[in-house]
Amino acid sequence: MKFNTKLIHAGISEDQSTGAVSMPIYRASTYHQKKVGGNPDWEYSRSGNPTRAAVEKLIADLEQGVAGFAFASGSAAIHTVFSLFSAGDHVIVGNDVYGGTFRLINQVLKRFGLTFTTVDMQDLSQVEAAIKDNTVAVYFETPTNPLLKIADINAVASLAKQHGLKTIVDNTFATPYNQNPLVLGADIVVHSATKYLGGHSDLVAGLAVTNDEKLAEQIGFLQNSIGSVLGPDDSWLLQRGIKTLGARMRVHHENAAAIVDVLKNDAHVAKVYYPGDPDFAGYEVAKKQMNHFGAMISFELQSGLDPKQFVEQLQIIDLAESLGGIESLIEIPAVMTHGAIPRDIRLASGIKDELIRLSVGIEDQEDLVEDIQQSLAKL
């Protein structure tokens, strides 16, 4: 079954009891059991819900894993996965991660005794040098948020396996349409499904997938124990969003390529970060491990130009946090999505005050190009 067909027919694509081609929303919190100790399929909706199970099976199929798990947010998914580890364990983390992940690590998880070392995941020597006797896992995004850095998933996972470490990859920016980390050697994939998978800026959700039966059992236990599960209404919305992922991504990609061309050829722009640009540092690795390059673009204006002025005078592209929706969204990471990161750490990671991040939507390409051009011309 080809991927675009999988989006619609994989997982649990219809209700087994009625044949409905749209999985119903099962809002029940508890279920009638025929006898005591009968091991029923459904007993309590924190432990399992038919609507949530449908989207969990779908993402497992799309990521080619053995089990998927749906959570109330991407942060909840990441927190649950990190809960696999214990006080005293050490995790190597990419130095260019989402600000919320940075906050979770530094203000929550460290209080429970986990330790972390941040490295540039593009440099395998840095990864290897950070491994300690108590290291248990490597966690990173690729492409990263917001600098679009590309880590070689297979190379990192191979190194991790040599040292008995788990590899966890945040696949939010790429989506399974563009990249399958489990196939490339990762042990766990996480998503902020709020973004491209939901695709319509109308839900908040997180997903985790593994191709390891033992890890699946452990994550399932933690999902039930911690309880930050995705509700049935949002599970239904998420599955509906995933079904159109292929159709949406094709337009996202076309629009992004056109905008990159405009930005690279405009004198107001100093630097463009995009994995599909042959001049981009991560291009060759991206070309090797990704089917397409995605629709996230970051760029810097020339020195002296005001990024706030640029984003505020756009007429079609929305100034807003988040990404991956059908509408184009733009933001300034230093004061928005990555504002939780101290400035010195942020600058050391390359996230400058002037950096602008653009999530390219599926509006008419000509309208988007004209909107960017008119705002640049006013600077």
277 CA to centre of own chain: 21
Phi/psi of residue 58, nearest 5 degrees: -65, -50
26 is catalytic: no
From the list 61, 170, 234, 277, the catalytic residue is: 170
Alpha carbon distance 317, 43 (integer Å): 46
SS3 210: strand
367 is catalytic: no
Residue in 6, 26, 96, 98 annotated catalytic: 98
Count the Cβ atoms, other than its own, within 10 Å of residue 329: 19
3-state helix, strand, coil in the chain (%, to 5): 40, 15, 45
With 0-12 CB in 10 A as exposed, 13-18 as middle and 19+ as buried, what is 38?
exposed
- Name residue 366's amino acid: E
Helices (runs of H) and strands (runs of E) counted in the chain? 14, 12
Candidates 195, 243, 248, 346; catalytic one: 195
Using a 10 angstrom Cβ sphere, with 0-12 exposed, 13-18 middle and 19 or more buried, the burial of residue 271 is middle
CA distance 271 to 376: 14
Point out the catalytic residue in the list 15, 31, 46, 367.
46
Please indicate whether residue 46 is annotated as part of the active site: yes
Q: Which residues pair with 272 in a beta bridge?
A: 299
Q: What phi and psi, each to the nearest 5 degrees, are found at residue 28?
A: -60, 140
* Catalytic annotation present for 357: no
The dihedral region occupied by 175, where left means phi > 0, alpha psi between -120 and 50, and beta the remainder, is left
Residues labelled as active-site residues: 46, 98, 170, 195
